[in-house]
Amino acid sequence: MKLPYSWLQELVPALPPLAELEPLLASLGLPLEGTEEVPAPPEGVLLVSVTRATPIGGTQLTRLELDTGRNGPKAIASGAPNAVSLQPGTMLALVTPGTRLGDTEYGVRSLQGVESWGMAASAKELSLGESAAGLMLFPAGTAAPGTPMHSLWAADTVLDIEVTPNRADALCALGVARDLAAALDTPLVQPPAGPAAHGAGEIEVSLPTLGSVIQGDPTQKIRLGSDYFVARTVNGLQNGPSPLWLQRRLLLCGSRSVSAVVDVSNYVMFELGQPTALYDRRDVLNDRILVGRGLPTGEVVTDLLGQTHTVTDQDVLILDGRETGVSSVAGAFAQTGPQPNPGVLGIAGIVGAAHGAVQPDTHDVVIEAAHFDAVLLRRTSTRLGLKTDAVFRYERGTDPTLPPRAADRIAGLLAELGGSLHPGATVAGKPALPADLSLDADYARRLLGMQIATGEMGSLLTRLGCTVQAAGEHLTVTPPPWRIDMNVPEDLIEEVARLHGYANLPETLPTLRVHPDNAGAERQSRERRELKRAVSGLGFQEVVTYTFTSDEEAAQARSERPNVRLKNPLTAERTGLRTALYPSLLRAAASQPAGTERLLLFEVGHIFPHSGESERLGLLLRGPLAPDTYRAGVAGGYPAFRGLLEALAGTLGAGLEIRQLRGADVPAALHPGMAGEVVWNGVAAGWLGAVHPEIADQFGLKGETYLLEVALPLPGRPWAFHDPSRAPAAWRDLAIIAPASVGYGQMATLLRAQAGPLLKSLEPFDVYAGAPIPEGQHSVAVRLTFRAERTLSDAEVDPVMERLITAIRAQGWSIREK
């Protein structure tokens, strides 16, 4: 959430400098994600008054005649969409000749016969905001024509504050200021209060009286949709540009200016944390509003941006009162039946409808300030894919007592803009007030591990807005209504620690007694750390990806479709739990910048196939490991990938064997001619090989990509210590000629089975194909190591070699003599 430093300083006059404020916010659980220095407009940007706006025929330009003050009358040509409708007296920001914005210096130039004296600017062109949709406009009389804009629009620092989901009260300037004032033990300046309502309002409001329990809700709470609703009216408005101070605040908060009436509603949301809605009173038929659920599923609502949304009977809606004699949304529809426009003013707490939206010619408005059910709104917004500033606050929970204050504040600001405020207000329902909590001070001290006086606890909680009654070591605490996250005594203890300062908590070593049932519980995490350290040591970079996937991604990767589905997926790309790890690695590889020559990624994560949840290790290699200067294919490709796996096995002290896979045994993700089974310590653990070209194309991966996926934990083997043999080893080399389809693994299996106990190890040291080896065959040279507790003689080793040669020839293979 973005807030300007100047706004916080207005509410907390004793606010420390930014260098001291940053650690203070962090200690309060509101750390800064970043800060931005927003400069004032350059000196050459002036506030000028429009005297006339004339379209230039045959073009999309508008000739603007301006009163620039001491520089006299001037004219410019503007292509902004809002230039053609400017009324005399409207003020705008003019970049005068000789002024530099960024790398561009502006001057006088001729456009369609107009000697354009500088340029009328948008907020983005002045680096004051992101909106470039039109010129920055201000009400007539904002300043004398020719006033430098920087004299009214000072430089500021914008704080980007990280607000956790439980601290919905901190999603506004007042909420952050409350915490700062409490931490500094300094007075808080409350925002101005609007004129309080006296008497009944002009709008009749009907709230739902019968609620229901949502299926799957563990609280079994009966939900109405809205339990508190306030409506006020302001008439006689002249809608137009917002005052300069209001636009400045909104732009610094990362919002944009729409119009004076709409901006007031947004401003109060950033100030107090209460989302509101304003309706054109012409569309609030019969001066009645219906709130609730019951519009039949399938009804289409068009929002104020022109987007259409299909609602269900579980969505909370705001309807006008076009049908008399009914008091509910369902009743209104039952009486009218299907119709193109069922009179929807908005999807409650989420977005306003086109029907009822404030227009440039709106003069009379209805103010809505309400408390809506957070669960119902979250379900609706998630289903519709709508995440507005309003629902961002409502779904986290807002102060249930705030609607009257917000409605009064908006009414007062609209009155300042020239509106005529009706003194009354319509109040429907009543707010749910927080329950008292009982706090044992001794329990709090035990939980915190430090001695804090009971009186100090009460003082800290009082500074946060709580009402505290003390009776010895017992405190009865009523949380403030804006702190909906204070529900149990432990929440109060957390607040005491937060305000007292986590840094002041003593450092003590806890007394740990390991239960026999937990002996060795750390083994699995230790093995994971050792595995990750070994993989990282080989040059792989760890990635942590989403465990969510979609049917489309599973089809692209030829993996099993997700069988565990999310009821409320965040996006269409994450609708279920993944069933394999390698699609996540392929997606990570595809997201790398173009031109990445070498990529080594690994992930340790869980998958959720039909067979049940399991943990996997995945490796991915793209590109060469080193310059290909020795021999083609050695610096990269499959040999390099297999070599990395062999190095990993050596680091972990494991036995490794790769068995070639063919036919139906080849995983769908791999190339049929380059796939192998990973046998770890004699147990099949997974597979490795080259990604199937069609899958690589689906993910946009050019060139060969190699994958490995093995199940965790990796099979172990018993460890034993043996004294090194004092007797020397005997070595023999053997070159076997076999069909090219016969791999080393098959040869090694035969040699181990026939050699007997004297064979301690064997390893290949050369592979050759070509003359004089027959076509379609290859020669694999193997070194055999024999050892015993005594020095072996040729008479003992030679019979073993003869037995091996006989077994080799029995397979139809031969021995290479030279």
pLDDT in tens, 673-710: 889 999 999 899 999 999 999 999 999 998 889 999 99
Strands 599-607 and 541-542 turn out to be parallel
Average pLDDT, the chain: 89
pLDDT for position 619: 96
Considering the chain, what percentage of its residues have pLDDT values greater than 70? 94
Least confident of 427-431, 586-590, 594-598: 594-598
Token representation of residue 218: 């563990």
Average pLDDT for 768-773:
87
Q: What is the CA radius of gyration of the chain?
A: 37
Helix/strand/coil for 14: coil
**Which residues neighbour 459 within 8 Å (Cβ) at sequence distance 6 or greater?**
none
What's the DSSP call for residue 134?
Answer: S
Which of 780, 783, 765, 770 lies closest to 813 in space, CA to CA? 780
pLDDT above 80 (res 668): yes
- Contact (Cβ atoms closer than 8 angstroms) between residue 5 and residue 11: no
Residue located via tokens 């000697």: 115
pLDDT above 50 (res 293): yes
Query: CA 478, 479, 482, 485 torsion: positive or negative?
Result: negative
∠ CA(513), CA(516), CA(518), 5° rounding? 80
Tallying the residues shown for the chain, one arrives at 818
What's the DSSP call for residue 84?
Answer: T
Task: Write phi, then psi, for 624 (nearest 5 degrees).
Answer: -80, 150
pLDDT for position 567: 81
CB 339: neighbour CB atoms within 10 A? 10
Strands 45-55 and 108-111 turn out to be unpaired
Token representation of residue 651: 């680091």
Distance between CA atoms of residues 623 and 637, nearest Å: 7
pLDDT for position 340: 44
| Residue 659, Cβ density class (10 Å: 0-12 exposed, 13-18 middle, ≥19 buried) | middle
Token representation of residue 478: 């009523």
Average pLDDT for 312-332:
72
| Residue 564, Cβ density class (10 Å: 0-12 exposed, 13-18 middle, ≥19 buried) | middle
- Contact (Cβ atoms closer than 8 angstroms) between residue 278 and residue 358: yes
How far is CA 12 from each of CA 5, 152, 186, 746, rounded to the nearest angstrom? Answer: 10, 22, 8, 78
Token representation of residue 367: 């103010």
pLDDT above 90 (res 722): no
Tens digit of pLDDT for each residue in 26-38? 999 999 999 999 9
Distance between CA atoms of residues 369 and 349, nearest Å: 10
Q: How confident is the model at residue 338 (pLDDT cuts 50, 70, 90)?
A: very low
Average pLDDT for 235-240:
94
pLDDT above 70 (res 209): no
- Contact (Cβ atoms closer than 8 angstroms) between residue 289 and residue 320: yes
pLDDT for position 214: 53
| Residue 572, Cβ density class (10 Å: 0-12 exposed, 13-18 middle, ≥19 buried) | exposed
Least confident of 197-206, 319-328, 414-423: 319-328
Q: Give the E-state strand segments of 191-337 in sequence order.
A: 204-206, 212-213, 222-223, 226-235, 276-280, 288-292, 300-302, 308-310, 317-320
First-residue to last-residue Cα distance in the chain = 77
Least confident of 168-182, 196-210, 727-741: 196-210
**Which residues neighbour 236 within 8 Å (Cβ) at sequence distance 6 or greater?**
363, 364, 418, 419, 420
Token representation of residue 525: 């995490």
**How many whole angstroms from its chain centre is CA 419?**
41
Q: At what angle do helices 173-184 and 18-27 cross, to 10 degrees?
A: 90
pLDDT above 70 (res 731): yes
**Which residues neighbour 129 within 8 Å (Cβ) at sequence distance 6 or greater?**
123, 251, 256
Alpha-helix residue ranges (DSSP H) falling in 615-762: 637-652, 693-698, 744-755
**Which residues neighbour 119 within 8 Å (Cβ) at sequence distance 6 or greater?**
76, 78, 94, 95, 106, 125
Helix/strand/coil for 268: helix
Strands 137-138 and 276-280 turn out to be unpaired
Q: How confident is the model at residue 225 (pLDDT cuts 50, 70, 90)?
A: confident
Least confident of 376-385, 714-723, 761-770: 714-723
Token representation of residue 160: 């980007």
Q: How confident is the model at residue 153 (pLDDT cuts 50, 70, 90)?
A: very high
Residue located via tokens 């040059």: 539
What are the CB-based long-range contacts (under 8 Å, 24+) for 380-384? 380/311, 380/314, 380/315, 380/316, 380/347, 380/350, 381/350, 382/568, 382/570, 383/312, 383/568, 384/309, 384/347, 384/350
Tell which phi-psi region holds residue 501, choosing left (phi > 0), alpha (psi between -120 and 50) or beta: left
Which of 585, 604, 594 lies closest to 705 in space, CA to CA? 585
pLDDT above 80 (res 6): yes
Residue located via tokens 């300046």: 189
Q: Dihedral of the CA atoms 336, 342, 348, 354 (nearest 10)?
A: -160
Tell which phi-psi region holds residue 449, choosing left (phi > 0), alpha (psi between -120 and 50) or beta: left
Average pLDDT for 774-803:
91
Q: Indicate the residue type of 137.
A: L
pLDDT above 60 (res 168): yes
Strands 365-372 and 156-161 turn out to be unpaired
Q: Give the E-state strand segments of 139-194 in sequence order.
A: 147-148, 156-161
Distance between CA atoms of residues 471 and 358, nearest Å: 54
Q: Indicate the residue type of 614.
A: S
pTM of the model: 0.70
pLDDT for position 657: 87
